[in-house]
Amino acid sequence: MPLSPSVILHVLSLTALSVAPSLAQAQTPNTFKYVGLSGVSAQQLFLGTLNKVYIVDKTENNNATVNGHPAWATEYDLTTNEFRTMDVLSNSFCAGGTVLGNGTWLNVGGNQAITYNGVAMPNTQQTGQSPYKDWDGGKAIRLIDPCDDESCEWVDNPAMYMTSRRWYPTLETLEDGSAMIMGGCEWGGYVNYADNQNNPTVEYFPSKGTPFTLNFLLKTMPVNLFPLVWLLPSGNMLVQAEFQAEIFDYKNNIEYPIADIPDCVRVYPASAGTAVFPMTPENNWTATIIFCGGTFLEADQWTTTWAINTYPANQSCVKITPDVDLNWYHEDPLDTGRSMGNFINLPDGRLFYVNGAHLGTAGYGPEDWTIGQSYADQPVYQSWYFDPKAAAGSKWSKAAVSPIPRMYHSVASLLPDGSVIVSGSNPNADCDKELNTTYTYFTQYQVEIFYPDYWGKTKPNPTGMPTQLTYGGDPFDIHLTLADLDNSAININKTRAVIIRTGFSTHTMNMGQRHVELDTSFTTQDDGGAILHVAQVEPNPAILVPGPALFFIVVNGVPSNASWVTIGDGIIGQQTIKPRSVLPRSQISAQLMAQYGGYTGRSSYAVDTSASAKRVSVDPVYTVQVVVGAIIGIISLCLFNL
């Protein structure tokens, strides 16, 4: 019968002695830790370098100031936990964002210039008047090239603005490193009203011509703000809003409706948590998208004439794999209904689910039924792990409880050390000092770090970490010591090379977030270390688009510190595509076989562990001697029955 390296190493592991782990890392696993203040409320957030996080708020009266007016953007230093205020010209309220193939980040859209308490300034005062000196941000395109030396600033130049207004637009980076900008509305409101404010169009940055109408955005009124959009490995898009969904062939502007999503509305302001499962060699880099939580309301119920914040959120979870099967399937449900939950892809393949509320939806307003101004109530403090590979009925497990309510306008993102930054929450028109201090849900400036349960375990420190990856091409080597493998050489069989695009976090979604595992093989060494042979990115930029990302080596579920890698050519434009990487066959050293199983021979076993491997090949000159009991007998039986 065929013998895989996994079988060999699993059997060998049965005879391995337990080895005590190295000293635990400083932080307590499975806990939140308050680390600092964000300076402005974190309505939008993204990781810009290994050490800098960028935070963008709506225009409001934050205490932090810049150039003589309240700031609504900061750069947060992960080493010092201090912030630097940054100047943004226009009102970035509910903007969308993504990163381009050249590493430039976009922040797109927004709302009118305002004064205190979120009141719009007169039409004649939309170009930088007091008190905030903000400009109308409805057509804004803001850009930044992140830096570590505090020299970078936001570029917010009206000469670069869009031709139409977009509040709540969605952005998705494409195969050439450009960005699609989809939907939004012109002037705002709880949902998208049809009275001349819907913007049912798509455009690109850099521009590829006049915006064009997407019929889907006409059919899904009034709940299609921040439409849920994913580029699929096929090169098509999955688009979801209201109860509807479609496959969008954006290259030919053809829309293919598919079955409605079950159970409830998932898009803003129902605000389900959404993410793509890890795309791996095992699943042939197929995209499966999960949706958890949301709100069941029909189109005519999305009004503010009733107490929305008393209405329970939904607890169902559904998934779809659009390139393979256009049917929806249920996943294990949440423990309780939740709106505004946020999924974060962890390097070990699980999803972290955090933030949100049990009652109501996203949004705020002046109605007499609100909690302060919040359209939601009963924060959900418990965070969870979701394991896509676990058996049905056991995919959820408890993580940690945060003491801070993270409601509307909260964010989260994976960090380079494998922890998760969490911040934000401001279901109010302005920060608290301008509002009634008896409100239940205040503006939150606290920054928390969540340390997953792999904290405190042996953290690998591999060498040879890359800074650039190509689409296809020659594989590269990562070197791991026995200590990196948690003092068990067999753990090379549980070692993965993982890329994560952390995305642009806002409104419970991380636009562009992806987890992609690269194909690997290995060579074990006599000293217990190993070389991990790693393929380049699959030669299909629709699986993983160009631009910056984090590269982890994950050993038995524990991630290394990430390196910062550029995927592709570092440009906006056609990427270089090379033939798919060809990995060397895996080699298990004779000494390792002897150490854990008694094998003696003239060479090592050559086994193919790549995704395309069909069977193990053993050179006929090898000699296997069964010198220890039944375990090596099993190995020998497997070897000689190939």
Residue 620, domain CATH: 2.60.40.10
Asked, for residue 593, whether it belongs to a domain, the answer is yes
pLDDT of residue 24: 36
Tokens in use for 72? 């609504």
Dihedral sign (CA 196, 198, 201, 204): positive
pLDDT of residue 154: 99
Task: Quote the CA–CA distance of 340 and 244 in Å, as a whole number.
Answer: 20
Residue with the two structure tokens 């049917």: 327
Asked, for residue 221, whether it belongs to a domain, the answer is no
Asked, for residue 138, whether it belongs to a domain, the answer is no
The pLDDT tens digits for 479-526 are 999 999 999 999 999 999 999 999 999 999 999 999 999 999 999 999
The pLDDT tens digits for 254-269 are 999 999 999 999 999 9
pLDDT of residue 345: 99
The pLDDT tens digits for 296-340 are 999 999 999 999 999 999 999 999 999 999 999 999 999 999 999
Q: Which element (helix H / strand E) includes 635?
A: helix 629-639
Strand pairing class (495-501; 141-144): unpaired
Asked, for residue 557, whether it belongs to a domain, the answer is yes
Asked, for residue 407, whether it belongs to a domain, the answer is no
Backbone phi and psi for residue 291, each to the nearest 5 degrees, phi listed first: -130, 125
pLDDT of residue 444: 95
Task: Quote the CA–CA distance of 295 and 315 in Å, as a whole number.
Answer: 9
| Sequence-ordered list of residues with C-beta below 8 angstroms from that of 157, at least 6 positions apart, any chain | 89
Asked, for residue 489, whether it belongs to a domain, the answer is yes
Tokens in use for 281? 């060699």
pLDDT of residue 596: 67
Low-confidence ranges of the chain (pLDDT < 50): 1-24, 598-605, 612-642
Task: Quote the CA–CA distance of 238 and 248 in Å, as a whole number.
Answer: 6
Radius of gyration of the chain (CA): 26
Number of independent structural domains in the chain:
1
Task: Quote the CA–CA distance of 16 and 10 in Å, as a whole number.
Answer: 10
Asked, for residue 15, whether it belongs to a domain, the answer is yes
Asked, for residue 468, whether it belongs to a domain, the answer is yes
Task: Give the structural domain span for 502.
Answer: 5-21+461-639
Contact 253/237 with Cβ under 8 angstroms? no
The pLDDT tens digits for 374-401 are 999 999 999 999 999 999 999 999 999 9
pTM here? 0.91
Task: Quote the CA–CA distance of 466 and 15 in Å, as a whole number.
Answer: 35
Contact 134/90 with Cβ under 8 angstroms? yes
CA nearest to 320, candidates 269, 266, 358, 356: 266
Task: Quote the CA–CA distance of 608 and 624 in Å, as a whole number.
Answer: 19
Task: Quote the CA–CA distance of 412 and 421 in Å, as a whole number.
Answer: 5
pLDDT of residue 589: 85
Q: Calculate the average pLDDT of the chain.
A: 90
